Amino acid sequence: MLRSPPPLRPGDVIRVVAPSSPFPREALLQGLAWLAMRYTLRVETSLFERDGFLAGPDAVRGAALAAALRDPTARAVLCARGGYGATRLLPDLPWHELTRAPKWIVGFSDVTALHGAAAHAGVRSVHAPNVTGLG
């Protein structure tokens, strides 16, 4: 049976990560502004990195996602964009941390790989717009 993380409430901490493809900066900034009206956002400094068709090298994207999964204050992890690249990160992520302290993983497209891993860890996630689709 899958566990549901607690519902999000105004002021909750949301970590924003980019585990997949790069994205238009303006689209991300609009989505962040929309989210910031209700939540406290923590954005990795590496969010705007690029490495060809990826939003940064695997090691950097993986470290950012791992930090978000480990963050005891975060109630959700929202993905900047889907595309390609998240599956390359799966083996090295601390899924036991998600099991220990469930938080919502939100996104779609390539982020579906993270949803599958979250379900395997016994935690529900949300297939919903990525941050670049908000605002």
User: Could you state, in order of their start, the residue ranges of all structural domains in the chain?
Assistant: 13-133
pLDDT at 55: 98
Provide the pLDDT for residue 9: 98
Q: What is the pLDDT of residue 135?
A: 77
Task: Specify the pLDDT at position 125.
Answer: 99
Q: Which residues contact 42 (CB under 8 A, 6 or more apart)?
A: 13, 14, 15, 16, 68, 71, 74
- Is pLDDT at 89 greater than 90 in this prediction? yes
pLDDT digits (tens, 9 = 90+) for 56-70: 999 999 999 999 999
> How far, rounded to the nearest angstrom, does the alpha carbon of residue 32 sit from its chain's CA centroid?
13
Residue 1 has a CB neighbour count (10 Å cut-off) of 4
Q: State the CB neighbour count (10 A cutoff) for residue 33.
A: 12
User: What pLDDT is stored for residue 79 in this prediction?
Assistant: 98
Domain 13-133: which CATH number of 3.40.50.2300, 3.40.50.10740, 3.40.190.150, 3.10.20.30: 3.40.50.10740
Q: pLDDT band for 44, please (50, 70, 90 cuts).
A: confident
Mean predicted confidence (pLDDT) in 69-90 = 98
What's the mean pLDDT in 82-100?
A: 96
> Mean of the per-residue pLDDT values for the chain?
97
